[in-house]
């Protein structure tokens, strides 16, 4: 049986980001950024985020998918959180919807039609899960999107929670220089693997870049330096200035050929293979995603796999440790504990400048969506009563005229009398429900 810990769809647990680590490993986030953050209630953060997304033109359904993915990241100190919205990186590029253009029992090619990338990725994951549950494997590629799809762990965990092994790869515009170069050619090109086990989810989610591109934006917003050795300026000189790095290039994570090779692999599999742009990706507005879902029963008994995979995780956790190492941590455990603690107290940390930007966007949505106040009954009466009184005067004159005509010719004026009675009742509508009048 697959063991899974989760607290609501918006805050899936557990997660992972990065390699297996030891407890003495420092956090990736600069301490100056973490120290400057303020805690706000999670409910307030969700409301601000939702309104901020709506303020740039997304539908309620789109906003809910985006909110869930970004809250998942923000709770885990993942750089795919609120900064994606406040930096302007999620500007609406079109009103299309994802559509399957090539289909088979085990695979599909999805045209994103410039729909929001998080929405397209969520759709692709659902298609892959459906195919894997029916046919043991689902391979889905997407193209024709032009925003970041957010933290891949959010989607990979969805696959693993269904009892499937998930592998996801994503390309992005040219932000990263290959080993030995100063020119950005590759995307940050994250790769994610999610494996369900009876000892919880194994979920590794990492970019092949040494530092997240949105991490550069976050550091620029906070006015703090980035770590040494993760980026070049435009002249190929190492820099800790986020603004200079944005004009230069990020490096791959080990600053060597091995991570550069892995980044190039993702570039090929999530780019040309799925039909996405492979040159000038930013202007081409066609970034690629590759989603693979595998049912363990395709290669053996699923329950045996879950058990054996769990035993591997247990052996790793219990391995003899080096001096000074308190614990060996499986990918995802550190971030899961952070998210669980924040959910328990009901707050999430946000950088102050980012929070102000989020509040401004939410206020913009409130102002644009505000409906005019319904008029009071007094206001309605002041508008309508004069017209009703005029109507009654006219009916009086008409009734008099008809009575004279009927007296001379003989007839019945009851219909006109009824009309006058209804008008008189309408004149007293301040004491009656308006919808009672027909």
Q: Which residues, 6+ apart, have CB-to-CB distance to 258 below 8 Å?
A: none
Q: Which residue has better confidence, 438 or 300?
A: 300
Q: Looking at the structure, do residues 200 and 305 belong to the same domain, yes or no?
A: yes
CATH of the domain at 218: 3.30.60.50
Domain that holds residue 83: 35-92+333-369
Distance of CA 203 to the CA centre of its chain: 19
Residues 141-166 pLDDT 10s: 999 999 889 999 999 999 999 999 99
In-domain check, residue 69: yes
Q: Which residue has better confidence, 154 or 406?
A: 154
Q: Looking at the structure, do residues 205 and 243 belong to the same domain, yes or no?
A: no
Say how far apart CA 197 and CA 161 lie, in whole Å: 10
Q: Looking at the structure, do residues 303 and 354 belong to the same domain, yes or no?
A: no
Residue 208 near residue 190 (C-beta atoms within 8 A): yes
In-domain check, residue 408: no
Q: Which residues, 6+ apart, have CB-to-CB distance to 105 below 8 Å?
A: 131, 134, 135
Q: Looking at the structure, do residues 58 and 162 belong to the same domain, yes or no?
A: no
In-domain check, residue 206: yes
Tokens of 310: 């769990």
Q: Looking at the structure, do residues 121 and 267 belong to the same domain, yes or no?
A: yes
Q: Looking at the structure, do residues 81 and 206 belong to the same domain, yes or no?
A: no
H or E stretch covering 101: strand 99-104
In-domain check, residue 342: yes
Q: pTM, whole model, 2 decimals? A: 0.75
Q: Looking at the structure, do residues 158 and 244 belong to the same domain, yes or no?
A: no
In-domain check, residue 381: no
Q: Looking at the structure, do residues 163 and 297 belong to the same domain, yes or no?
A: yes
Asked whether the predicted pLDDT for residue 370 surpasses 80, the reply is: no
Q: Looking at the structure, do residues 203 and 305 belong to the same domain, yes or no?
A: yes
In-domain check, residue 163: yes
Domain count, the chain: 3
Rounded to the nearest integer, the mean pLDDT of the chain is 84
Q: Looking at the structure, do residues 264 and 205 belong to the same domain, yes or no?
A: yes
Span 354-380, average pLDDT: 78
Residues 206-232 pLDDT 10s: 999 999 888 898 899 889 999 999 999
Q: Looking at the structure, do residues 202 and 123 belong to the same domain, yes or no?
A: yes
Residues 281-337 pLDDT 10s: 988 999 999 999 999 999 999 999 999 999 999 999 999 999 999 999 999 888 888
In-domain check, residue 8: no
């Amino acid at each position: 049986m697959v063991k899974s810990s989760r607290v609501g769809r918006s805050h899936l647990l557990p997660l992972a980001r990065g390699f297996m680590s030891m407890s003495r490993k420092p956090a990736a986030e600069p301490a100056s950024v973490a120290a400057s953050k303020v805690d706000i209630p999670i409910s307030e953060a969700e409301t601000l985020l939702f309104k901020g997304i709506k303020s740039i033109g997304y539908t309620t359904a789109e906003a809910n998918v985006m909110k869930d993915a970004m809250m998942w990241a923000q709770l885990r100190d993942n750089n795919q959180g609120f900064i994606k919205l406040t930096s302007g990186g999620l500007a609406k590029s079109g009103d299309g919807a994802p559509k399957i253009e090539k289909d088979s029992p085990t695979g599909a090619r999805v045209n994103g039609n410039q729909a929001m990338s998080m929405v397209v990725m969520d759709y692709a994951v659902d298609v892959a899960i459906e195919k894997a549950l029916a046919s043991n494997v689902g391979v889905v590629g997407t193209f024709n999107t032009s925003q970041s799809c957010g933290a891949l762990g959010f989607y990979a965990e969805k696959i693993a929670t269904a009892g499937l092994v998930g592998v996801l790869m994503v390309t992005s515009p040219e932000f990263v220089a290959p080993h030995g170069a100063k020119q950005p050619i590759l995307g940050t090109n994250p790769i994610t693997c999610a494996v369900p086990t009876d000892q919880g989810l194994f979920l590794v989610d990492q970019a092949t870049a040494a530092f997240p591109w949105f991490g550069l934006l976050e550091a620029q917003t906070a006015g703090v330096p980035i770590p040494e050795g993760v980026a070049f300026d435009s002249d190929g000189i190492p820099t800790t200035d986020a603004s200079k790095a944005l004009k230069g290039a990020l490096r791959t994570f080990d600053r060597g050929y091995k991570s550069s090779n892995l980044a190039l692999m993702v570039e090929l599999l999530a780019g040309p293979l799925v039909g996405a742009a492979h040159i000038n990706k930013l202007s081409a507005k066609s970034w690629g995603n590759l989603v693979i879902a595998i049912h363990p029963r395709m290669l053996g008994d699923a329950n045996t796999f879950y058990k054996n995979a769990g035993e591997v995780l247990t052996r790793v956790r219990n391995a003899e440790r080096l001096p000074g190492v308190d614990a060996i941590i499986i990918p995802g455990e550190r971030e899961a504990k952070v998210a669980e603690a924040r959910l328990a107290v009901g707050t999430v940390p946000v950088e102050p400048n980012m929070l102000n930007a989020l509040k401004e966007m939410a206020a913009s949505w409130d102002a644009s969506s505000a409906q005019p106040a319904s008029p009071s009954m007094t206001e309605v009466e002041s508008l309508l009563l004069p017209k009703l009184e005029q109507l009654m005067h006219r009916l009086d004159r008409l009734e008099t005229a008809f009575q004279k005509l009927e007296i001379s010719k003989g007839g019945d004026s009851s219909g006109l009398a009824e009309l006058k009675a209804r008008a008189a009742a309408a004149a007293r509508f301040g004491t009656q429900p308006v919808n009672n009048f027909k």
